[in-house]
A and B are shown apart, each in its own frame.
Chain A
Amino acid sequence: MYRYDAVDRLIVEERVAQFRDQTRRYLAGELDEDAFRPLRLQNGLYIQRYAPMLRIAIPYGALSTTQLRKLADIARRYDRGYAHFTTRQNIQYNWVRVEDVPDILGDLASVSMHAIQTSGSCVRNVTTDALAGVAADEIVDPRPYCEILRQWSTVHPEFAHLPRKFKVAFNGAKEDRAATPVHDLAFDLVRDDAGEVRVVVKVGGGQGRTPRLASIIKRDLHWSELLNYTEAVLRVYNRLGRRDNIFKARIKIQVQELGAEEFARLTDEEWSHIKGGPNTLTQDALDRVRGYFVDPPLQPRGEASSRLALGANFRAWKKRNLAAHKHADYAGVSISLKREGVAPGDATADEMDFIADLADRYSCGEVRVSYHQNLILPHVARADLEALYSALDGKGLARANIDLASDIICCPGGDFCSLANAKSIPLSARIAEKLAPDRGGSRRDRDQCVWLHQCLRAPSCRAYRRAWRREGGRGLVSGVDRRPARWPGRARRADRQGCA
């Protein structure tokens, strides 16, 4: 878990105070909607189809149980007793009131959380492997690099009004669990022959109406140039990215129109002026930030002898929902939030409190959120697996479907989002129903995940799906057919940054 220092705390507190004043002026009629829109978006507040929605960042998906309980508390006090974990390690409240938002942000600040830049045309919440610092196949712990980039991009004066949203992801493991090819800017952290960390830079990936996979524009960036090179990419995009058409404004279109080589050349030219400049990372800075991530000391625990008669369900769950941990006596345990009758990624306040209790008991007080919209207990001793399974099973949270077709990744779609071209929740419900174990669906529930995206169109989706598979991406990425009745022709009039 990252621990805030006084600088972190003060920025979050001053941001809350700033937005409190802006909201007050807006509600008093001193600030018009046009001026307020970018301000509220960059504080996570959307106006959605039915109600304002507030999106909160969960950097690198890591939550302490104190934070998780606070999220449950906010769901009860300001919303309808539940919240939605998104496809980008954020959490959304779909029924808040505008006038309550400054207080919610104040509550979040008290547990070192915020909603800064979770929406709007700016650098969004940086995401990475939900098992960062834990996974057995990790090459480089991505969290210090993510955190450095997060801090640098937070309230960055030059890049708060980009042509469009800008999503950044890091991967530091053998298996990419951060979906980096579908990000605007993505970094693979690798080690060269000398063991030095090098960065592979990819740019121009994205989903939506024009799905694209990111192109590599730099293969061996030295880690110390991470911020300088990012600054160069952002300046090229900010200056030259398209602003005439909202549907062509993402960096993927710029990269496509220029060609990846030309984009790389422009970036290199810009980079040549700032290389070695004031944002060059020192070993000292990296070590300092690494020291802010305090991981729990894990004691050897060994395997427990079986005491409970749990049978086939337990074995299936153990086979399906566990991830290998650096410490052989431990495992990362996924809690599937894909249940029949519940929208993917939704959890009630009671469930959040329950999972926080389990995390205190079995996972050193830490919970992770994955882009698959599931929760992970990252440090569970293998000796505790049976007890944990029984507790989860008692609340219907032991579904053994991680990475199966029923583990559907699904943004809220037309049920909430004002720019979606289709409703993805009913579709996910139909799929879930077909694959329900008690209807004999488990045979059909194969090893492929379904990724439903409200804005993917079927034709562009097919090409994209092939490319996604070529990149080693697993599972089925599925778009939706354009249905005139549900296609809001005037979607541009609503908030467009609808995706997490």
Chain B
Amino acid sequence: MSLIIELDADGPQVRGQAPERAAPAPPKPANEGHGDMRKKIVPVVKPAAGPSASAWEGGAYVSMQQWLDGEPEGGAILLQPGDDVRALDGRIGNAALISVDFHRINDGRGYSHAFLLRNRLKYRGRLRALGAVTADQVYAMARVGFDSFALRADQKAEVALSALESFSTPYQGAVVAGDAAARRDANARARVRLLERSLTEIAARHERPALASSLSAEDMVVTDVIARLGLPIDVFTLDTGRLHEETLALIAQTEKRYGITLAVHRPDDEAVQEFVARYGRDGFYEGLPQRKACCFVRKVLPLGRALEGRDAWITGQRREQALSRGALAEAEQDAERGIAKYNPLAEWSWADVLAYAGQYDIPMSALYARGYVSIGCAPCTKAIRPGEDPRNGRWWWENQDGKECGLHTNTVAR
């Protein structure tokens, strides 16, 4: 028995064993860029002369014609590419197995056989692909209705198993022809998958990446993915000394929920005292320079310490959050520190964030329920009324331009 992968209710199962074989010699690179290629190209493989198999686990196969002539109880049919499977209509109820023989990789008739068997003839039993079946074909075969794959002798089960996961939200069906709601659902799934992919890639590419979390809903989304996938990405937060109680409570809640530790970076006491002595504790209300000075002491300097020795950092910034973030790129270079910076939620809308929060039931700051749209220091953020410009939720006494704390400057898109 050859190596067979079967799709069961509880996922793909590997059955049988691959026959022993000698390792193939690695091919020469297809082309070095010189010479006439025609001489080096392997000829097309001729079609198989006969069926690729004669028996299955339960005995000998019968051909379609033999089946139609006799219809043996509990037998298995081996279909050839040229068979008209529609002839089996109403005659396959008691087949134990139907196998479709693929003589060549590029002979696609077997895929239409499977479609017709499943959709027109309503065949619900085991449907197996055999013959020229490679790991790279099983994804399409599974989607068209096969649930059993007798792999070609040189194929590896683990490659086929991972190939079954090739695409998360394929285009056909409701994703293309369905209504807006169907596409919205597909988009929600795709968005999460994109985020998972991008964080997995960041974790693989960098030695010591970290998420800078303000405990905002966006940062909780990123934290949730990091924890759910167990990615080696640290999470830190900046306790400015002026945070809401709700934010501080959420730090503990997050650690408990995910079993991770958030590194908390606090401002330097001396620098804070110096600011208070010069401007007063709430001196930031007096003007932009004062406010920027406060942000600098309480956020920018601690951020610098948090990023010391790191080669990448991640934020939960989104383009629609502020005018200044309208052209935000997903991958940037932090030119000041010479490290990579990622904004994997750049494309997300607030509705996308809420949808994720609902689906994965992530801990959310209690401030949102009270009308806050931006989570920052207590004196500088406030709740807004429904319909009010979200930008009024932070530094509302300032001009609309330049509403950034200074954490996100001096970056270039990559």
- Measured between alpha carbons, how far is A156 from B112 in the docked complex, in Å? 12
CB-CB under 8 A for A161 and B173, given A10-B193, A98-B31: no
CB-CB under 8 A for A10 and B168, given A238-B111, A494-B41: yes
CB-CB under 8 A for A495 and B41, given A39-B136, A50-B33, A51-B33: yes
B167, A155: Cβ atoms closer than 8 Å:
yes
- Measured between alpha carbons, how far is A495 from B171 in the docked complex, in Å? 28
B166, A25: Cβ atoms closer than 8 Å:
no
Say yes or no: is A483 at the interface (Cβ < 8 Å to chain B): no
CB-CB under 8 A for A7 and B175, given A33-B27, A49-B38, A50-B36: yes
Of the candidates B27, B112, B139, B197, the one whose C-beta lies within 8 Å of that of A32 is: B27
Q: Nearest residue in B to A279 (C-beta to C-beta)?
A: B177
Of the candidates A6, A26, A152, A281, the one whose C-beta lies within 8 Å of that of B172 is: A152
Residues of B within 8 A of A17 (CB): 197
B179, A490: Cβ atoms closer than 8 Å:
no
| Shortest CB distance A364–B (Å) | 18
Complex interface: stretch among B184-192, B204-212, B313-321: B184-192
Say yes or no: is A340 at the interface (Cβ < 8 Å to chain B): no
Instruction: Give the residues from 363 to 397 in chain A that come closer than 8 angstroms, CB to CB, to chain B.
Output: none
Q: Nearest residue in A to B35 (C-beta to C-beta)?
A: A50
B44, A493: Cβ atoms closer than 8 Å:
yes
- Measured between alpha carbons, how far is A7 from B188 in the docked complex, in Å? 9
Residues of B within 8 A of A28 (CB): 26
B136, A493: Cβ atoms closer than 8 Å:
no
Instruction: Give the residues from 146 to 205 in chain B that come closer than 8 angstroms, CB to CB, to chain A.
Output: 154, 156, 159, 163, 166-180, 183, 186-188, 190-191, 193-194, 197
A227, B176: Cβ atoms closer than 8 Å:
yes
- Measured between alpha carbons, how far is A95 from B37 in the docked complex, in Å? 13
B144, A7: Cβ atoms closer than 8 Å:
no
Residues of A within 8 A of B174 (CB): 278
Residues of B within 8 A of A285 (CB): 176-179, 183
| Shortest CB distance B315–A (Å) | 19
- Chain B 10-45 interface mask (CB, 8 Å, partner A; 1/0): 000000000000001111011101111110011111
Instruction: Give the residues from 22 to 80 in chain B that come closer than 8 angstroms, CB to CB, to chain A.
Output: 24-27, 29-31, 33-38, 41-45
A282, B29: Cβ atoms closer than 8 Å:
no
Instruction: Give the residues from 270 to 308 in chain A that come closer than 8 angstroms, CB to CB, to chain B.
Output: 273, 278-282, 284-285, 288
Say yes or no: is B409 at the interface (Cβ < 8 Å to chain A): no
Residues of A within 8 A of B175 (CB): 7, 151
Complex interface: stretch among B92-100, B101-109, B279-287, B335-343: B101-109
Say yes or no: is B143 at the interface (Cβ < 8 Å to chain A): yes
Say yes or no: is B297 at the interface (Cβ < 8 Å to chain A): no
Residues of A within 8 A of B109 (CB): 238-239, 243
Residues of B within 8 A of A11 (CB): 167, 169-171
Of the candidates B25, B30, B115, the one whose C-beta lies within 8 Å of that of A235 is: B115
| Shortest CB distance B391–A (Å) | 25
CB-CB under 8 A for A158 and B111, given A14-B167, A32-B24, A148-B176: yes
Say yes or no: is B120 at the interface (Cβ < 8 Å to chain A): yes
Say yes or no: is A18 at the interface (Cβ < 8 Å to chain B): yes
B30, A152: Cβ atoms closer than 8 Å:
no
Of the candidates A95, A235, A493, the one whose C-beta lies within 8 Å of that of B41 is: A493
A151, B30: Cβ atoms closer than 8 Å:
no
| Shortest CB distance B131–A (Å) | 13
- Measured between alpha carbons, how far is A28 from B42 in the docked complex, in Å? 18
| Shortest CB distance A109–B (Å) | 11
Residues of A within 8 A of B347 (CB): 6
Residues of A within 8 A of B38 (CB): 49, 418, 488, 490-491, 493-494
Of the candidates B34, B105, B187, B194, the one whose C-beta lies within 8 Å of that of A161 is: B105
- Chain A 82-103 interface mask (CB, 8 Å, partner B; 1/0): 0000000000000101110000
B27, A26: Cβ atoms closer than 8 Å:
yes
| Shortest CB distance B343–A (Å) | 14
Q: Nearest residue in A to B134 (C-beta to C-beta)?
A: A35
- Measured between alpha carbons, how far is A227 from B33 in the docked complex, in Å? 41
Residues of B within 8 A of A284 (CB): 179-180
Say yes or no: is A34 at the interface (Cβ < 8 Å to chain B): yes
- Measured between alpha carbons, how far is A282 from B182 in the docked complex, in Å? 12
Residues of B within 8 A of A257 (CB): none
| Shortest CB distance A105–B (Å) | 15
| Shortest CB distance B264–A (Å) | 33
Residues of A within 8 A of B27 (CB): 26, 29, 32-33
- Measured between alpha carbons, how far is A52 from B183 in the docked complex, in Å? 37
- Chain A 56-96 interface mask (CB, 8 Å, partner B; 1/0): 00000000000000000000000000000000000000010
- Measured between alpha carbons, how far is A99 from B31 in the docked complex, in Å? 10
Of the candidates B26, B171, B188, the one whose C-beta lies within 8 Å of that of A151 is: B171
A/B interface sample: 6 pairs, CB < 8 A:
A6-B188, A7-B175, A7-B186, A32-B24, A52-B31, A161-B106
Give me 6 other A-B pairs in contact (C-beta within 8 A), A7-B183, A28-B26, A288-B179 excluded.
A7-B171, A18-B163, A47-B30, A50-B37, A98-B31, A285-B179
B residues lining the A interface (CB < 8 Å): 24-27, 29-31, 33-38, 41-45, 84, 105-109, 111-112, 114-115, 120, 134, 136, 139-141, 143-144, 154, 156, 159, 163, 166-180, 183, 186-188, 190-191, 193-194, 197, 347
